[in-house]
């Protein structure tokens, strides 16, 4: 509206002073309207910019939320995969430790078993040596008993021989009439 008035002012010849005052009032009024319209446009632009910013913020917020949810999901999957891998690793280590423990236990059982076998073998050897020793002792005792019996027999025989010798000597002495008496030859006992 104001542009038409201005355009009409330019095409019209200059009005008298009173009209010019009216036209200044009209221009002032037009300027007020223009300023008001500019203010409204500005407010509208600010409102539109604010709405656009809100929409941008909302869009970015939605996008950020989506990215965060995507990252959370990815992190959860990675956490689960890591937990699964860690669980498998721990299970593997535990199996290895159990197998190692079983090997050590088997080794100890083998050692104890070998010790028991060696102990049994040594005990059998001990028993054989003990029996052999008992047999040797018995044979030695028997030998000694026989020798003692032989010695006793020999001693008895010697005593008998000594008695016979004494008798023989006495008998011979009486034949020979030796002046020697029996007292010179005491009997052997």
- Give residue 114's domain range: 2-164+174-184
What pLDDT is attached to residue 62? 85
Is the separation of the CB atoms in 180 and 173 below 8 Å?
yes
The rounded Cα 1 to chain-centroid distance in angstroms is 93
Residue 125 is predicted with a pLDDT of: 92
User: 13-33 pLDDT, tens per residue?
Assistant: 555 555 556 677 788 888 888
Q: Using 50 as the pLDDT threshold, list the residues of the chain that sit under it.
A: 1-10, 178-180, 182
Domain assignment of residue 126, yes or no:
yes
Residue 140 lies in a domain: yes
Judged on CB neighbours under 10 Å (0-12, 13-18, 19+), 118 is exposed
Asked if residue 189 is part of any domain, the answer here is no
pLDDT, tens only, 127-149: 999 999 999 999 989 998 998 88
Q: How far apart are alpha carbons 152 and 77 in whole angstroms?
A: 109
Three-state SS at 181: coil
> Total domain count for the chain?
1
pLDDT in tens, 38-48: 888 888 888 88
C-beta separation of 169 from 185 below 8 A: yes
- Please tell me the distance from the alpha carbon of residue 124 to that of residue 110, in angstroms, as a whole number: 21
């Amino acid at each position: 509206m104001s542009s038409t008035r201005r355009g009409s002012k330019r095409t019209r010849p200059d009005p008298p002073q009173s009209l010019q005052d009216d036209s200044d009032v009209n221009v002032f009024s037009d300027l007020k309207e223009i300023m008001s319209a500019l203010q409204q446009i500005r407010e509208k632009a600010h409102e539109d910019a604010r709405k656009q910013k809100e929409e941008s913020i909302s869009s970015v917020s939605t996008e950020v939320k989506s990215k965060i949810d995507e990252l959370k999901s990815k992190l959860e999957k990675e956490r689960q995969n890591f937990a699964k891998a860690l669980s498998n690793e721990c299970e593997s280590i535990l199996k290895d430790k159990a197998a190692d423990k079983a090997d050590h236990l088997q080794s100890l059982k083998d050692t104890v078993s070998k010790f028991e076998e060696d102990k049994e073998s040594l005990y059998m050897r001990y028993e054989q040596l003990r029996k052999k020793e008992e047999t040797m002792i018995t044979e030695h005792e028997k030998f000694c008993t026989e020798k003692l019996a032989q010695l006793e027999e020999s001693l008895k025989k010697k005593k008998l021989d000594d008695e016979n010798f004494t008798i023989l000597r006495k008998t011979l002495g009486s034949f020979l009439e030796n002046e020697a008496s029996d007292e010179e030859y005491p009997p052997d006992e």
